[in-house]
Amino acid sequence: MKTKFLIFALSLVCYTSFAQQDAQYTQYMYNTININPAYAGSRGVMSIFGLHRTQWVGLEGAPTTNAFSINTPINNSNIGLGVSVVNDRIGPTSDNTISADLSYTIQTSETYKLSFGIKASGNFFNLDVNKLNPADPNDDNLQAFNNEFSPNFGAGVYLHSDKLYLGLSVPNFMQDKKYNDNEYVVFQERMNFYIIGGYVFDVSPTVKFKPAFLTKAVQGSPLQVDLSGNFLFFDKLMLGAAYRWDAAFSGMAGFQISDGLFVGYGYDRETTNLRNFNSGSHEVFLRFELFSKVNKMVSPRFF
């Protein structure tokens, strides 16, 4: 048990050093609503998204994330709305975050739109001390948390066309602390700054290529940079790869089952010493979109 607890403690150290306070996604380009509220309604249709991520398989207490979101434009207006729920579990802790997003879009040219968004969220934090193995079970610092609530808010901007997107966002402005009254701080929320971008190149009439990036900055932690390249064949099959700087390599695949249904899978392999304690990370998502005769897409947008 001591060995397992040591491995879990080491994993938390690595987890913190890479600033993974907000849930981490390999296929962030399909799950933008969770990090940038200005994305709400930008696809022009109602988009329903579900994701499951199992990180560092085989490592006790490793993160597991479930995310669900709905976002849609409002009729023919410039307003978009979104609602999302994220459950993030790490060892004895569990975070449940419910968010509401509001965006407003302006047409800046014939091809580009600029969206502004705000996010309001509520976080429910849980700590199950029964999952720990302390030397002193009666330690006063070991206080269980049961749905400890903390509100937050964020904002973002999102420039996009049918080929390009750029975004800047801060999902959480408020920095909340747990165990703040004691000597120890089990969890402290810090501001995460995100910059994302991507561009779709038409390689041929049947092949598209999209390089993309995500940069995340957190005070006191190393800069995180994700670089990816995805190919889309015949507007149906997506294949790609990604690299998280000094952290992991990833492979991605997806398939457009129908006009409104897209399924994707991602696999990460660590490049740090953690690779000796796990068999990689798995991520699967499903996106369903509701079209009408007016807003039906000729071909799926690649982000």
Instruction: Give the pLDDT score at 20.
Output: 44
| 91 and 127 Cβ atoms separated by less than 8 Å | no
- Lowest model confidence (mean pLDDT) among 82-96, 232-246, 268-282, 286-300: 286-300
Residues contacting residue 171 through CB under 8 Å, at least 6 positions apart? 22, 34, 35, 36, 37, 99, 119, 121, 152, 154, 156, 192, 194
Mean pLDDT for 90-114 is: 94
CA distance 70 to 217: 26
Closest to 300 measured CA to CA, from 266, 263, 269, 272: 263
pTM over 0.95: no
pLDDT at 147: 81
Per DSSP bridges, beta strands 201-204 and 187-188 are unpaired
What is the rounded CA–CA span in Å between residue 71 and residue 294? Answer: 18
pLDDT (tens digit, 9 = 90+) per residue, 33-44? Answer: 999 999 999 999
Q: Tell me the pLDDT band of 174, cut-offs 50, 70 and 90.
A: confident
Share of the chain above pLDDT 90, in %: 61
- Give yes or no for residue 19 having a pLDDT over 50: no
Q: Are the C-beta atoms of residues 84 and 22 closer than 8 Å to each other?
A: no
pLDDT of res. 93: 87
Report whether 259 contacts 291 (CB < 8 A). yes
For 54-79, what is the mean pLDDT? 93
Residue 3 confidence (pLDDT) above 70:
no
283: its two tokens: 């991520």
Give me the DSSP letters along 249-279. Answer: EEEEEEEE-SSSEEEEEEEEEE-SGGGGS--
Tokens describing residue 36: 């940038």
State how far the Cα of 261 lies from the Cα of 239, in Å rounded to an integer: 17
Q: What is the pLDDT, as a whole number, of residue 294?
A: 56
- Coil, helix or strand at residue 129: helix
Indicate the SS3 state at residue 149. strand
Whether pLDDT at 283 is above 50: yes
Q: Which residues pair with 45 in a beta bridge?
A: none
DSSP 216-258: EEETTSPPEEEEEEEEEETTTEEEEEEEETTTEEEEEEEEE-S
pLDDT of 98 reads 97
User: What is the pLDDT confidence band of residue 225, given thresholds at 50, 70 and 90?
Assistant: very high
Confidence of residue 148 (pLDDT cuts 50, 70, 90): confident
- In this predicted model, which residue has the larger pLDDT, 251 or 185? 251
* Residue 210 Cα distances to 27, 167, 228, angstroms: 13, 16, 8
